[in-house]
Amino acid sequence: MADFQVIITLAHKLGMDVTAEGVETKEQLAFLRKLNCECGQGYFFSRPLDNTAAVALIVTNPQW
């Protein structure tokens, strides 16, 4: 877990936003939020989608 914090902190010190990949559980999401990770993607938010379904999901503007 400390590795995640180091990576996120380093990215922030470099002026970068962080996107966590592979978020699968609400516990992982809570942990990433606690570390001030800006974005996340993974099965927790959605299974893989085809083009039409992906556009429909983006249009609804879900926020984490």
pLDDT tens track for 6-55: 999 999 999 999 999 999 999 999 999 999 999 999 999 889 999 999 88
Residue partners of 49: CB distance under 8 A and separation at least 6: 57
What is the value of pTM for the model shown? 0.75
For residue 41, the SS3 value is strand
Per-domain residue ranges for the chain? 2-59
Residue 32 near residue 20 (C-beta atoms within 8 A): yes
> Residue 59: which pLDDT band, with cuts at 50, 70 and 90?
confident
Number of neighbours of residue 47 by Cβ within 10 angstroms: 7
